[in-house]
Structure 1
Amino acid sequence: MSGQAPILLIVDYNLTRVSDVANIARYARQQYDTQAMLIRAQPGARDLEICDYAIDLDPLAQNFVETALNRLAPFRERIRAGVVFSDNAVQRGAELLERLNLPTDSAALAAGAFSKRVYREMEVRIRDLMEAQSIMVPHCSSVVTVDDLRAFAEDHPAGFVVKPSCEGNNRGVIVVRKGDSLETAFAMVEPYLANGAVCEQLIPFRREFSFDGIGETEFITEKVNADGPYPVEVAQILPARLTVTERTTLTRAGRLANMIVGQREGPFHNEIKLSDDGRQAAVVEPNRRPAGMKIWTLAQAVFGINFYGLWVDAALGEKRHVAVVETSTEAATVMLGVPVDGRYAPPGHDKAEALLRKAISHAAAICGIAADVIDVLEYTWLATDARSIPVIPKENSDFAAQVCIAIDGGCSDMRRLVQALRQSWIAALGEETERAAARDDRYCDQVA
């Protein structure tokens, strides 16, 4: 490709999303003969493999916009479009694109998609509007000391959530109920106090979904969260099984969240809780980025839509509205844990594949279906090196592996299959761990 080719600017990404960045760069290259330039802190060899240029710059650094403009100066005439691909960059990345006169969603309102505290403040300013639409606005307060938790606990005896204001991946999030240790809860968020932490009134709705999409193209994903004090997401399921009333309520809440944080043309992933009767909702948090846990991969399998392609199209001025039409396919991303606390080394490719096949075979038998009707879309061990993994995950990275599966709708209940697969994986990994210990090949060093 010519050294004078147009450039698509990609502003930051979470390290787990590297394959998604590769998809974006590849699509831009194939469809528009466009090169890709990445801005992120400490870009690595993989970044330079998938992008034509990389600039070492943290979007949270002081004077990020001015520094970025200076470093982009030699390329400015070639930069045709940009996308912002991380929570950390959502505000300053949008400011940068505005300064470059490139299409982007509002920078002025983007702070609500970065800071949970700011978003709640924005909700409070329009509380009457929100409540008129049957959308609960949880009480929220900043946390600086453990005394702040005590004061909030007194006012909210039914329970509350403590979490960092500006942190993703469910890190530092804990549900506190009457009798729980406030010191333990404070210790969870203490590492994040520099960027702020909040207490939030516990939303009294059991079910959780996400309102996902790009521009005007939208869909709803069903979430499966862990029980207990750490509400970690253990699965995502498409399509969400909803009544007309439930879909209407979630869509209304999702669109309002988009308006509050200034989303219009770009991606969104708004996490929303829904009442049992389907008539009330509460926004857990909004996000102006593609959904995590491979939700857009599931969407491509279920709806036949390349959402990353739509994003590049919109950025490059080729906006397309695509109708979301469900097919007979159901899909899920499933997080796979460990049987005991320990230090686990990722197995080689053949062992990893054998482990998954065993788990799928057992799960299929539990659900009364043939294993070959379960299509594996993607499967990965979450780390390349040995690391400690807890049996009770406290955040989304506390799992061994992740798998995306699809089945033909109607052949099994996907929710039951997800549960069976998680249990079968634990059993299969436990058996392999015991055998490896007997062989002394250090598959897992159990932590007492």
Structure 2
Amino acid sequence: MNKIMPTELQMNLQNAVLILGYNNTRINDVKRIRETARNTLNAATILCKKSPTVEDKNTADFVIDVALNSDQKNIDNIMNAIKDISINVVAVLPFSDPGTQLGSKLALHLGLRGPDVNKVNTALDKYAYRQAEKNAQGYPRGYKPIFAEKIDSFEQLCAIHKQLNGKTFLKPTSEGNSRGCMNLSHVHSLENAWSEVRKYISSGVVAEELVSNSEEYSWDHVAGFSWVTEKKTTQNQYRAEIQQIVPAPLSDVETSLITNAGTFMSELAGSNHGACHNEVFYSEKCQSVQAVEPNLRPAGMRIWDLAALAYENFEPWKEWLLWTSQNNRQESFLNTLNQKCYAGLRMITAVKEGILQNIPEINLNTLSTEQVELIEIVWTKKPENSVTTVIKDNSDFIGYIIATSKDYDALSSFLDITTQKLALEVKIYDFFN
């Protein structure tokens, strides 16, 4: 391991926050944590991840090259690196799904708040969660467990698919393999599905009953503040998330059912009131909630930023830092949020496959309306990048918009129409031209 040499600015920051990895393209959120840590705790940031890039090193104050599983050698490597720079760690932030495993043990080792080390695997391993769910002593009102079985052969897949009457959803057990998720009701043959998911068999694949006639939401939480986010997904075999709106337009009863389910999930995963992003299905007809999966990290797709827009005087990133650093010492973690508007994000899908040629310059004011304010347009693809219409996960979109409104219906319509307009403005070369 290379010895870390701090700059003069970094030496002036005697405290530090450990960030355990980050998911996919969330490097801008790491920058947000860095800024918030300095302003809130006067602390530097130490990013821990395997094989850090030059961009990683420019994003945090320090970087430690380390795997994120909870092996003792990884804890020793981090503690030795911290000793080299003579800095005091005041907070541990598990910011990737694998990072929750190492983060829980580091927090315990350092005497800081973090997930329960005895339960934290439930938030990473999808099958472990289903087993914990199955063995739980009682469920919240309206909560329905989902049938799930681990598979390791094509014959087993065929048998379960028949048992579930063709309503089967496949998931790699590891959170890091989200591209392997597949709705088998949309595939042409089980042979094709098996050829695509068998690469994940070594780490585990779970076959679950496919939930239908339900809408998807998430219960998002940090340090006692919680809200329900409405989610929209693509209507294909991969079910990638395309839209988020905070807060979800639900009745008090519906919000309570989802909140109770989300709290139950977080307890199974040992969150200890930290960051949670627990995804659920809700059936209005049956007034039932079924768990998709728990996550012991901040939600993706800018959901925390949407919450900051939607609620008065709410800074989720700051609250997370205060919680893990134990600077919020309240006895109760039941905090109230006051809504001021709806805030939404919708992804932009390419209109055809090819090579992205040109991205238009757009004036936000020309697209805003009397009812809806367009806050941001973000392009995640760059010229010369290949683009696709087949969305397997968020990396396949070409960008997104964020907007706010006091009217839910106006916001929802605006998000859909505006992203379609923007998609048509993007110039794409055909692969064969």
Q: Does 1:446 align with 2:431?
A: yes
Q: Is the 8 A contact 2:401 2:415 kept in 1?
A: no
Q: Does 1:342 align with 2:354?
A: yes
1:208 is matched with 216
1:324 is matched with 337
2: CA distance between counterparts of 1:168 and 1:294?
A: 19
Among 223, 236, 249, the residue aligned to 2:257: 249
Code of the residue aligned with 1:331 in structure 2: it is A
Among 43, 68, 84, the residue aligned to 2:94: 84
Q: Is the 8 A contact 2:218 2:229 kept in 1?
A: yes
Aligned residue pairs: how many? 418
Closer/same/farther in 2, CA of residues 207 and 315 from structure 1, 3 Å limit: same
Code of the residue aligned with 1:389 in structure 2: it is V
Moved more, 146-155 or 377-386: 377-386
Moved more, 398-407 or 385-394: 385-394
Closer/same/farther in 2, CA of residues 172 and 259 from structure 1, 3 Å limit: same
Code of the residue aligned with 1:343 in structure 2: it is I
Specify the SS of the correspondent of 1:273. strand
1: CA distance between counterparts of 2:408 and 2:149?
A: 47
Closer/same/farther in 2, CA of residues 426 and 61 from structure 1, 3 Å limit: same
Moved more, 55-64 or 266-275: 55-64
Percent identity (aligned): 24
Q: Is the 8 A contact 1:381 1:402 kept in 2?
A: yes
Code of the residue aligned with 1:280 in structure 2: it is S
1:266 is matched with 274
Deviations 1:390-433 (A, max 9, x none): 212122211111222223x138522222221232233333xxx2
Q: Is the 8 A contact 2:172 2:178 kept in 1?
A: no
Specify the SS of the correspondent of 2:19. strand
Q: Does 1:413 align with 2:410?
A: yes
Q: Does 1:12 align with 2:10?
A: no
Deviations 1:362-407 (A, max 9, x none): xx6xxxxx64754333332224463332212122211111222223
2: CA distance between counterparts of 1:416 and 1:378?
A: 17
Q: Is the 8 A contact 1:376 1:406 kept in 2?
A: yes
Code of the residue aligned with 2:344 in structure 1: it is A
Q: Is the 8 A contact 1:37 1:51 kept in 2?
A: yes
Closer/same/farther in 2, CA of residues 157 and 331 from structure 1, 3 Å limit: same
Deviations 1:13-53 (A, max 9, x none): 12411111111111111222211111112223333333221
Q: Does 1:375 align with 2:366?
A: no
**Structure 1: 5+ residue runs without aligned partners?**
365-369, 434-442
Deviations 1:189-244 (A, max 9, x none): 22322321111011234201000020211000000111132211110012210012
Superposed counterparts of 1:268-287, under 5 Å: 268-277=276-285, 279-287=287-295
2: CA distance between counterparts of 1:18 and 1:292?
A: 11
Specify the SS of the correspondent of 2:350. coil
Q: Is the 8 A contact 1:170 1:232 kept in 2?
A: no
Q: Is the 8 A contact 1:205 1:273 kept in 2?
A: no
Moved more, 31-40 or 247-256: 31-40
2:397 is matched with 399
Superposed counterparts of 1:134-153, under 5 Å: 134-153=142-161
Deviations 1:127-170 (A, max 9, x none): x612x632111111112222221011111005010121113584
Cα distance, 1:72 vs structure 2: 3.0
Aligned-residue CA RMSD in angstroms? 2.5
TM-score scaled to structure 2, two decimals? 0.89
Q: Does 1:102 align with 2:99?
A: no
Specify the SS of the correspondent of 1:177. helix
Q: Is the 8 A contact 1:169 1:396 kept in 2?
A: no
Superposed counterparts of 1:33-48, under 5 Å: 33-48=42-57
Moved more, 282-291 or 183-192: 183-192
2:385 is matched with 387
**Structure 2: 5+ residue runs without aligned partners?**
1-8
2: CA distance between counterparts of 1:173 and 1:334?
A: 21
Q: Is the 8 A contact 1:143 1:199 kept in 2?
A: yes
1: CA distance between counterparts of 2:280 and 2:310?
A: 21
2:65 is matched with 56
Specify the SS of the correspondent of 1:334. strand
Q: Is the 8 A contact 1:338 1:389 kept in 2?
A: yes
2:3 is matched with none
1:26 is matched with 35
Cα distance, 1:174 vs structure 2: 1.2
1:439 is matched with none
Superposed counterparts of 1:212-227, under 5 Å: 212-227=220-235
Moved more, 287-296 or 168-177: 168-177
2: CA distance between counterparts of 1:35 and 1:174?
A: 41
Deviations 1:308-362 (A, max 9, x none): 01111112211266421111x22111110111122325x4xxx4433x86xx96x
Q: Is the 8 A contact 1:166 1:195 kept in 2?
A: yes
1: CA distance between counterparts of 2:87 and 2:425?
A: 55
1: CA distance between counterparts of 2:30 and 2:391?
A: 27
Code of the residue aligned with 2:386 in structure 1: it is S
2: CA distance between counterparts of 1:7 and 1:36?
A: 5
Q: Does 1:307 align with 2:316?
A: yes
Closer/same/farther in 2, CA of residues 140 and 374 from structure 1, 3 Å limit: same
Q: Is the 8 A contact 2:246 2:343 kept in 1?
A: yes
1: CA distance between counterparts of 2:170 and 2:66?
A: 31
TM-score scaled to structure 1, two decimals? 0.86
